[in-house]
Amino acid sequence: MNWKNCRKAVIVGGTSGIGYGIARKVAADAPQAKVIISGRHQPDDIAQSNIEFVRLDATSMREIKKYTDALKSQQEKIDLLVLSQGVISFTKQSTEENLDKTIALMYTGRQMLIRELLPVLTNDARVIIILNAVRGDGSTLDYNNLDLNKKMSLGKMITHPMTLNDGMVQWFAREQIEKNKSGSSQHHRLFVHAFPGWVKTDIGKTLPWPIRMMGAISMYFKGVSADECAVHMLNGSYKDSDKEGWLNINDVGDSLNGKRHIFTDEQLDKIAKYTWESIDNALLTPQSTK
Ligand SMILES: NC(=O)c1ccc[n+]([C@@H]2O[C@H](COP(=O)([O-])OP(=O)(O)OC[C@H]3O[C@@H](n4cnc5c(N)ncnc54)[C@H](OP(=O)(O)O)[C@@H]3O)[C@@H](O)[C@H]2O)c1
């Protein structure tokens, strides 16, 4: 399996930066593929005719439900699902569905997209979460404070979604192995959490200008282009599939498995329970009439 054989790719956070870089690479290398890019704003320079924009605010679980239902109704299988939506935010803000906005974007919404689209993924699909597969730390996760309601710090707010995404790639892989063993499916999908490294994108555009300036200087010296990053992310995710069904990769696409925390079954179950309950509760919140 290679992205060049892809027939349908869905890239959330695909309207700019790393996600758009991946979309352009897949669309160019797989001219037969339909590449759907999603975010809140349509890019005005889509040059490739096989890239299609579908709007999505991925902080809203209700919007995600409508979006995934529409994709499922198309009866086309998805070979590649990339989740690259992100912002840099240091403030705590709630969504209308009572979720922390940053966690909803970086974690909860990503997991909902995977869960809802699983039935239409091909048997050997790739799911790639672009966030930070090196900084999360499963060994220090407080399982009694998964919603961060009891104790919270800026550092935790930043690393928490990374750790939880680390856990969930292992959870999806474990579920797949169990279903394959029981004979109820034969899937060889790979769930990847990737660290893109320093990439020259507009992610810092909403930060105060002194921080933006410092970021721009670091990027100038250390950053790679979104196009270069896209090649590393795709190469790393399509290397000979790891039998475990999950992979953490670094900025050049090398596997970090063996260096990462392995969650126990009990830990994975707690993370998954918290995640599915957060989504289900968000979907049950009364809808605003505004
Ligand atoms: N750039 C780096 O050096 C770097 C380093 C480490 C990790 N990362 C991670 O990599 C991911 C991609 O970052 P990037 O640098 O490519 O940033 P970017 O250029 O700003 O792209 C972010 C993407 O997220 C989308 N997005 C933001 N809010 C959204 C929302 N509410 N709903 C749906 N889509 C939304 C944006 O689309 P719209 O504006 O159209 O909504 C855009 O497509 C992020 O998770 C970031 O944390 C980046």
pLDDT values of the chain reduced to their tens digit, one per residue, 290 residues: 799 999 999 999 999 999 999 999 999 999 999 999 999 999 998 989 999 999 999 999 999 999 999 999 998 999 999 999 999 888 889 999 999 999 999 999 999 999 999 999 999 999 999 999 999 999 999 999 999 988 878 888 899 999 999 999 999 999 999 999 999 989 999 999 999 999 999 888 888 888 888 888 888 888 999 999 999 999 999 986 667 899 999 999 999 999 999 999 999 999 999 999 999 999 999 987 76
Tell which one of 11, 57, 68, 84 to mutate to probe ligand 1, the residue whose CB is within 8 A of the most ligand atoms. 84
- Contacts by 65-69 with C-beta closer than 8 Å and gap 24+? 65/112, 65/116, 65/283, 67/38, 68/112, 68/113, 68/116, 68/117, 69/116
Q: Specify the number of domains making up the chain.
A: 1
Residue 285 lies in a domain: no
Residue 228 lies in a domain: yes
Tell which one of 10, 18, 68, 219 to mutate to probe ligand 1, the residue whose CB is within 8 A of the most ligand atoms. 18
pTM, entire model: 0.97
Residue 249 lies in a domain: yes
Task: Tell me, in angstroms, the distance from the centre of ligand 1 to residue 202's CA.
Answer: 8
The CATH number assigned to the domain holding 7 equals 3.40.50.720
* Ligand 1, atom 20, residue with closest C-alpha: 203
Task: Tell me, in angstroms, the distance from the centre of ligand 1 to residue 62's CA.
Answer: 20
Residue 155 lies in a domain: yes
* Ligand 1, atom 37, residue with closest C-alpha: 39
Q: Is 57 in the pocket of ligand 1 (CB under 6 A)?
A: yes
* Ligand 1, atom 43, residue with closest C-alpha: 13
Residue 167 lies in a domain: yes
Residue 290 lies in a domain: no
Task: Tell me, in angstroms, the distance from the centre of ligand 1 to residue 203's CA.
Answer: 6
* Ligand 1, atom 42, residue with closest C-alpha: 13
Residue 287 lies in a domain: no
Residue 87 lies in a domain: yes
Kindly give the number of the ligand 1 atom that is closest to the alpha carbon of 37: 43
Q: Is 131 in the pocket of ligand 1 (CB under 6 A)?
A: yes
Q: Give pLDDT, residue 216.
A: 82
Domain residue limits at 71: 3-280
Task: Tell me, in angstroms, the distance from the centre of ligand 1 to residue 15's CA.
Answer: 9
